[in-house]
Amino acid sequence: MFINNKYTKWYFGIVAQAKQRTHCGYVEKHHVVPSCLGGSNKKDNIVTLSAREHYICHLLLTKMTSGQSRYKMAFALSMLVKVKNIGEGRHVVNGRLYEYARKIYKEALDDYWTADRRADRSKKFKELKIQPKGWTEEKIERVKKTKVWTEKAIQNRLDNCLKAAKDRKGSSWSDEKRSQQRETYFAKNLDLAPIVLKMSDEGKSKLAIATAVNTSWERVRDIIKNRDEFEERLAKKT
């Protein structure tokens, strides 16, 4: 599964050290063998890391895998650096590392999704005749006629990402910006919060609530997680 190189040794060195110590403060859980590569949720496959160690481990995983596995690890790293809801203790990469993460994901994407692989996948889906839930025949025909992304469009998208990374280099979120983001979050979810919290008190699962109110499971989870502040803000509103 993993290439036998120096990055693999560094990776398991970090994991071994982390398992031998007790962490204090902000930590993040990490699958030693990533779940997308067949790793389990058992205790021996999960390690508690600092935010910086977590980022480094995901960076190393892109250098100790190949083929489809590297594509998956590049995607995971790309998602890690794109997190916008940065909480206290979260590791924030600089512009250079952000650019690197996006670049290797694009490279891994191009290496994995060859023309033959895309054609084969398209053929399989056509044979299965899968119709997206809620899609009408009219919408399906409209999507079929929609032009696919050209190489120029893909390159423009990449250039914009790299430009954003360059502009972001050396910058960090101020306390004022964090406060504004937090206020925006509560304002956006204040009307939904009473419904979610009431259904949660009735014993319904997060998934059941998300389905009932037509939103994401993560949004429901975060509202319940911030129950105290939502209840305080609702009390002030009334």
Q: What is the pLDDT of residue 85?
A: 53
pLDDT higher than 90, residue 11? yes
In the predicted model, what is the mean pLDDT of residues 28-44? 91
Task: Answer for the pair 65, 4: CB distance below 8 angstroms, yes or no.
Answer: no
Residue 236 CB partners (closer than 8 Å, separation 6+): none
Q: What is the pLDDT of residue 105?
A: 86
- pLDDT, one tens digit per residue, over 212-232 is 888 888 999 999 999 999 998
DSSP 102-152: HHHHHHHHHHHS-HHHHHHHHHHHHHHT---TT--HHHHHHHHHSPPPPHH
The two tokens of residue 237 are 């509103």
Residue 93 CB partners (closer than 8 Å, separation 6+): 55, 81, 101
Q: What is the pLDDT of residue 88?
A: 61
The mean of the pLDDT values for the chain is 84
pLDDT higher than 80, residue 86? no
For residues 178 and 53, the model is more confident at 53
pLDDT higher than 90, residue 12? yes
- pLDDT, one tens digit per residue, over 179-209 is 888 899 999 999 999 999 999 898 888 888 9
Q: What is the pLDDT of residue 139?
A: 76
In the predicted model, what is the mean pLDDT of residues 114-118? 84
Distance of alpha carbon 195 from alpha carbon 212, whole angstroms? 10
| Confidence band, pLDDT 50/70/90 cuts, at residue 24 | confident
Q: Which of 61-70, 117-126, 137-146, 166-175 has the highest average model confidence (pLDDT)?
A: 61-70
Q: Alpha helices, DSSP H only, in the chain?
A: 6-19, 51-61, 67-81, 95-112, 115-128, 137-145, 151-168, 175-189, 193-201, 206-213, 217-225, 227-237
In the predicted model, what is the mean pLDDT of residues 125-148? 71
Q: What is the pLDDT of residue 119?
A: 84
Q: Which of 122-136, 146-160, 201-215 has the highest average model confidence (pLDDT)?
A: 201-215
Q: What is the pLDDT of residue 93?
A: 77
Q: What is the pLDDT of residue 142?
A: 76
pLDDT higher than 90, residue 132? no
CA atoms within 13 A on the CB side of 170: 2
Task: Answer for the pair 40, 15: CB distance below 8 angstroms, yes or no.
Answer: no
* 72 backbone dihedrals φ, ψ, rounded to 5°: -65, -40
pLDDT higher than 80, residue 91? no
For residues 129 and 13, the model is more confident at 13
